[in-house]
Chain A
Amino acid sequence: MSHPANGFQSNLPRRHRSGQAWLLLFQAATLIGILGLTALMLNILNSNFGYVVYVDKVNPQTLAVDGVPLENLPSDTLASIFRENVSNGLFTRYDREIPLTDRSQSSIYELILDFVIVPEVKQQWSLWESLTRRAQIQSIAATDYPEGYLVFESWVDYDFIKSPQSSFVEIAGVRTAILGSLWTIGIAILFAFPVGVGAAIYLQEYAADNWLNRVIRTNINNLAGVPSIIYGILGLAIFVRALEPLTSGAIFSGSAEATASGRTILSAGLTLALLVLPLIIINAQEAIKAVPNSLRNASYGLGATRWQTIWNHVLPGALPGILTGTILAISRAIGETAPLVVIGASTFIQADPSGPFSKFTTLPIQIFQWTSRPQEVFRNLAAAASLVLLALLLTMNATAILLRNRYGNRN
């Protein structure tokens, strides 16, 4: 093309080229992100599935009666097999929990599986190995463990989710940790949501734009960036130590029987609440700020008070944004490990949390504990627990997003 006017150079091809170059860079950046996420998912899946060689302590065929295999035997026969093969103490414990006569055939069979047959993991392979070196694995299993058997195992399954923690890798589960996570997150949100939104309303709608309030706002922004372990130290000092009578539940039960001292779900929940509070405040402030002033003017112009304006127009308009902030807060809180370690989460606990004054563990802590075990097989449990954690996170976020869309579209 000819020069459009004197003094202009024909640089259009060059401008297009530089645009192309930037586009390539952005695509590369996106690709790196996708690769990272894929690697993460593959890594978790790789440890979650794969061949496992089990060796039973007692061969189930020796327990068969009159040629009927164990799993098909009636309840009463299974019950007597259980009684004969375990110690008196163990039998009494389970019989007292639910009398054996009241248990179903399959639950007695499971008891026998867990305490009589006791399959033990001898060796395990990752999903990648299981897919690529199948013949080799089968021959290793056959030669090294002649009495064992090879199973393609999914480490995460229903049993894993419903079973409590155990030091036996075969029966260990994450129920305690899931419940602990749900309890702490629940308390954290219950506390942080109203406080955070309330503070945001005050700062955005009531507080004058003066020196003091600007300092407060800046500091809330800074608080959001404080490393979580520092919140752990804060929680340890305030909730675990200073407020021990409250957080241990001693002042409610009236006795000093509290076994967890201050290291309870309540302390953990409040610590996480402090941790996510700045996040909720900042997001709620932004959401409130985004509500158009014309709406406030319309409301005031009709003779509405400030609170009527906030409650009827500002908050409904800001709710989707506030809930988005809460989603972020939940995501942050559910993955926090360091502050909970500092305030003294239990690393090994089998009893389900029964309330805010229970000892607790959470999923990230469970994962952390399993990965730090010397036996390699616990890595598989850690991977399975990671999958559960991700699923829990996605479920909670999906719930929050559904809530947001529902209230966002109400008008």
Chain B
Amino acid sequence: MAIATESPPTDATGQYAIETNSLSVYYNEFQAVRDVNLSIETRRITAIIGPSGCGKSTVLRAFNRMNDLVPGSSTQGEVFFAGQNIYEPDVDPVEVRRRIGMVFQKANPFPKSIYDNVAWGARINGFRGDMDQLVEDSLRNAALWEEVKDKLDQSGLSLSGGQQQRLCIARAIAVRPDIILMDEPASALDPIATLRIEELMRDLAQQYTIIIVTHNMQQAARVSDFTAFFSLAEDGSRAGMLMEYGLTQKMFTNPEHKITEEYITGRFG
């Protein structure tokens, strides 16, 4: 496997959950993300923030090859996961997506029962253990068990918005991923439901690496350990670039770049 010499060396002990090396994503001719070099810490919450259209979601979706499903998209550079560049031709994106799960902006439970919503992913991935136990564990981990344990056969769509989003998280962790990507998971929720999701993320971070895209600066400050700030390239090409990356605490109190400070303090974006 060819690794560009200027990239940070892959940590053989798995200190980093994901490392990118000159990651660029194109939609047809348009370069949406340019030359991202990012190392995501294991079992930490990393927030990706930045103004609209700066490629935050595109970067997130590049981590589990969801961009492959977008017609006309292409990816350059490398994304290392478990010591393997997931864009190597012999890597199956289906397997990547099982190990790197995803929670979307809008809660999207299947039009199936709550039980089947959680069990389906495990079932298709060949889970042969105690399914009832797995469903219960996943719902408990998603802090939803107490609310739904008596109505597991009801449709997942009958739940409230916040419950649906936690169901989607339960569904994601039921396939036992290493990493959970969250694309603005609380943007459609009210403040209380948002708080519950944030608490849940803190709990999950003990077991999983979590990467969250958010528009909400307070949310990034509250939940994340590390923050990556993206912004548009200053040459007018509208390509998204990684501007600053580091400990959340440091970035929100003492950012290195002026543009980061301007964004965080709400002067643009």
Contacts and interface: CB of A to CB of B under 8 A. Distances in A.
Interface of A: 208-209, 292, 294-305, 308, 312-313, 316-317, 411
B121 A302 contact: yes
Nearest to A303: B98
Q: Which of A292, A302, A411 counts the most B-chain CB atoms under 10 A from its CB?
A: A302
- Residues of B in contact with A, size category: 20 to 34
Interface stretch (B19-27, B101-109, B221-229): B101-109
B102 A301 contact: yes
Contacts of A411: 111-112, 155, 157
Nearest to B106: A294
Contacts of B94: 303-305
B108 A295 contact: yes
B95 A294 contact: no
Given A294-B104, A302-B98, A308 B124 contact: yes
A357 to B, nearest CB: 44
Contacts of A208: 71
A170 B111 CA distance: 57
A307 to B, nearest CB: 10
B76 interface: no
Nearest to A208: B71
Interface in B118-136: 120-121, 124-125
20 contacts: A208-B71, A209-B71, A294-B104, A295-B108, A297-B104, A298-B168, A299-B110, A300-B69, A300-B97, A301-B66, A301-B104, A302-B101, A302-B171, A303-B99, A303-B121, A303-B175, A304-B94, A305-B94, A312-B124, A313-B110
Given A297-B66, A313-B110, A411-B111, A303 B124 contact: yes
Given A297-B104, A305-B94, A317 B121 contact: no
A348 B172 CA distance: 65
Contacts of B109: 298
Nearest to A297: B104
Contact of A301 (B71, B95, B172): B172
A301 B157 CA distance: 19
Interface of B: 64, 66, 69, 71, 94-95, 97-99, 101-102, 104, 106, 108-112, 120-121, 124-125, 155, 157, 168, 171-172, 175
B175 to A, nearest CB: 6
Nearest to A410: B111
Given A208-B71, A308-B124, A300 B111 contact: no
A49 to B, nearest CB: 49
B41 to A, nearest CB: 22
Contact of B110 (A209, A298, A305, A308): A298
A294 B111 CA distance: 12
Contacts of B168: 298
Given A298-B108, A302-B124, 13 more contacts: A296-B69, A297-B66, A298-B109, A298-B168, A299-B110, A301-B97, A301-B104, A302-B101, A302-B175, A303-B95, A303-B98, A303-B121, A305-B94
Contacts of A297: 66, 69, 102, 104, 108
Contacts of B120: 302, 312
What 8 pairs across the A-B complex have the smallest Cβ distances?
A303-B98, A302-B121, A301-B102, A411-B111, A294-B108, A298-B108, A303-B97, A308-B124
Contacts of B69: 296-297, 300
Contact of A304 (B71, B108, B111, B121): B121
Nearest to A306: B94
A298 B111 contact: no
A209 B73 CA distance: 13
Contacts of B171: 298, 302
Nearest to B97: A303
Contact of A302 (B71, B111, B157, B172): B172
B108 A302 contact: no
Contacts of B95: 303
Given A302-B172, A303-B98, A312-B120, A317 B111 contact: yes
Contacts of A292: 108
Nearest to B98: A303
A208 to B, nearest CB: 7
A299 B69 CA distance: 12
B124 A304 contact: yes
A317 B110 CA distance: 10
Contacts of A313: 110
A125 B174 CA distance: 75
Contacts of A298: 104, 108-110, 168, 171
Contacts of A304: 94, 121, 124
